[in-house]
Structure 1
């Protein structure tokens, strides 16, 4: 037995620092199970898989807006650097894939778009694979409180901000459910916390109790605002 980052370092012939970074980024798995703790003790013959980072794809671009299909394991801020001078209109969690929008900073459209988000006039539809069987559509209305330190984490709390999530089962996959999810608010980790709160965390969500997987099974499928609508198909590893 030895620490995961040391074994990964040997396998890939990389530094301990780089190995720890890959594990912290959620890109390392053994036998289909994601490794989340760099110092976890593993068998010395463990074979590591490294999830590749695919290239972000442009869905649409005009003078107002740039729509990107963000791959998992890419920070939203890193994405913005790739497409400067465009800036983020909103963000997605690092492991979440799907549609993300960028705009020209302080342009008239940027101001209008920020107001649309503030007024909850933006349609946001996701897909997720959750643990357990969800047989019926429902609406989750539970306030969310977020703690922001080195890493943000949220929880259901009466002291939190109002949050509304609509879920509808699309397909039962063994003992898991593929969901369509529409959020009316945009709290930090809203979908992840709400699904955890009803006993059906997202597969691959190590922060909120989901079963182990190579990635967080959450995808931003569609977004619409100010006359625009964009759809991003989930990658093959999602379904």
Structure 2
């Protein structure tokens, strides 16, 4: 047979390696689930030993995947951010014009606010973020990423408004939505409940300002 013309064999990962990869993903998720449950139950002071016991993995296996508790916290935060991003995209993708976009943002905030009040993990996670500079950076980057996505959705309705201004409005709405939900958990419930309509009005005002600027620029430029 002509070796130069012989068909090349496609290489696939050995079955044993694929099995190891699948087991690794399962182990990692078990560790993160255990850590999430413990943080929700006990707060931020859970130990690596407690996490290993809850996940039913050996300490050696735990450290094989996560060098320290900060690495676990980072992975949990990134999973949380990804889930929030999916929720945000689901709401924003329904928008057909500026008014429906504002309604979508209010609805997304309502769902996020409710989750924050109902799930103790949210409070524990924020306590961790406040004490970790790297997690704070990840949190800010996530707000900017979500802001850029929202800008891409609403930009066609504000074509004459400076892009950075639109991005600032979108990113600030995201960051303040999270801050509002966190703040409401720490204040008397009668006041915390009132933060919802107050912030929804702030969302409307933020995008009403963009709409007003759009009209002004169109009128000015003729």
TM-score (norm 1): 0.27
Bigger share in helix: 2
If you compute each CA radius of gyration, which structure gives the higher value, 1 or 2? 2
Bigger share in strand: 1
TM-score (norm 2): 0.28
